[in-house]
């Protein structure tokens, strides 16, 4: 930890003050270095020591010196945080994953952050249930779409059953059957929205250890993305 170093300081400040003697002493020629060093005691003096001296780290703690004050503790930064797991697509490096649900235009409707090793199919139901009712031009607000397009990562029987229970027609790519050349005909809007999230430098690399702070930045980015659509439609 780096800080500013100041001169002076009153009682209890913990600083170091240097005082000079008003009458400088002149050493006569011929006196050795020992005399010069001894003369420093008359023209230089220091304030008393700080109220709390440094103490060694206790048992089971880091091999660092800690300050004597009970309210302060200097330790090295620890890696990791909430919702972090080994990324299978990046040689097992720790990271997080965005699970995103959008409409046909690419407007984000629901967002969930999980560790990078969490499978996509396990977050399908929480994503659908997280969608808030949307006001339509005519009729009651809608919360469930007519159909849902997803990639091969959601090609499981329990995902299709979960969609049918909610009266949503599943349009999920089938592994080993559907060609990869036709998978992006309807889902390219989701990939585009994910690319928009990656354009925010604060979200490209995770810096926050707390999940609530990281979620707040993602929600702010989602609001800015929605604002672009509003400007395009009404301004």
**C-alpha to C-alpha distance for 201 and 130, rounded to whole angstroms:** 26
- Note the pLDDT tens digit of each residue in 49-106: 555 555 555 565 555 544 444 444 444 455 678 888 898 888 888 889 999 999 888 9
Choice among 45-54, 83-92, 119-128, 144-153 with the minimum mean pLDDT: 45-54
**C-alpha to C-alpha distance for 113 and 107, rounded to whole angstroms:** 17
Give me the pLDDT at residue 227, please.
93
Question: What stretches of the chain show up as alpha helix (H) in DSSP?
Answer: 33-43, 124-129, 157-165, 184-198, 201-204, 211-234
Is-contact 173 156, C-beta < 8 A?
no
Give the distance, in angstroms, between the CA of residue 108 and the centroid of all CA atoms in the same chain.
21
Choice among 1-10, 21-30, 171-180, 201-210 with the minimum mean pLDDT: 1-10
For the chain, the first-to-last Cα distance in angstroms comes to 49
Encoded tokens for 61: 């703690």
Is-contact 123 114, C-beta < 8 A?
yes
Share of the chain above pLDDT 90, in %: 31
Count other Cβ atoms within 10 Å, centred on residue 132. Answer: 9
**C-alpha to C-alpha distance for 194 and 111, rounded to whole angstroms:** 11
**C-alpha to C-alpha distance for 207 and 214, rounded to whole angstroms:** 8
């Amino acid at each position: 930890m780096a800080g500013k170093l100041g001169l002076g300081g009153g009682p209890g400040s913990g600083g170091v003050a240097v005082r000079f003697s008003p009458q400088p002493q002149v050493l006569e020629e011929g006196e050795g270095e020992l005399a010069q060093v001894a003369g420093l005691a008359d023209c230089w003096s220091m304030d008393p020591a700080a109220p709390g001296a440094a103490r060694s780290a206790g048992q089971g703690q880091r091999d660092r010196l800690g300050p004597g004050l009970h309210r302060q503790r200097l330790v090295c930064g620890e890696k990791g945080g909430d919702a972090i797991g080994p990324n299978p697509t990046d040689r097992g490096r720790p990271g997080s994953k965005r699970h995103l649900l959008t409409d046909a235009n690419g407007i984000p409707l629901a967002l969930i952050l999980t560790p990078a090793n969490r499978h996509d199919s396990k977050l399908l139901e929480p994503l659908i249930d997280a969608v808030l009712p949307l006001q339509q031009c005519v009729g009651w607000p809608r919360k469930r779409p007519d159909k849902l397009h997803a990639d091969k990562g959601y090609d499981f029987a329990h995902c299709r059953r979960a969609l049918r229970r909610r009266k949503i027609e599943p349009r999920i790519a089938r592994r080993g059957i559907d060609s990869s050349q036709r998978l992006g005909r309807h889902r390219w809007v989701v990939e585009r929205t994910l690319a928009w999230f990656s354009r925010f430098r604060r979200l490209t690399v995770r810096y926050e250890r707390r999940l609530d702070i990281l979620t707040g930045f993602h929600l702010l980015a989602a609001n800015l993305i929605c604002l672009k659509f509003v400007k395009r439609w009404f301004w």
